[in-house]
Amino acid sequence: MDVEEALKFTDNLALTTTGKHLDSLQKAILRGTWDNQKYKEIAQEHQRSEKYVKEVGFKL
């Protein structure tokens, strides 16, 4: 399984359970963690606070 397959699977799971697709930040967090990025790095790339990225990541 590659990152794109994992994103499709996770997006379908989110849609089934919440009725919503993953948003762009959620997808970025999944891609980043797949590539062993730290939350701090993901936050900097997407102009968000590290705290906010951690909160979103925890909910995933």
Whether the CB-CB separation of 20 and 14 falls below 8 Å is answered with: yes
Q: Taking the CA atoms of the chain, what radius of gyration do you get in angstroms?
A: 11
**Phi then psi dihedrals of residue 26, to 5 deg:** -60, -40
As given in the structure block, the two tokens for residue 20 are 């919503």
Tell me the per-residue pLDDT of 12-43, one tens digit each, with 9 for 90 and over.
999 999 999 999 999 999 999 999 999 999 99
- Considering the entire predicted model, what is its pTM? 0.89
Domains in the chain: boundaries = 3-59
> What pLDDT score does 60 carry?
86
Those residues with Cβ within 8 angstroms of residue 55's Cβ, 6 or more apart along the chain or in another chain: none
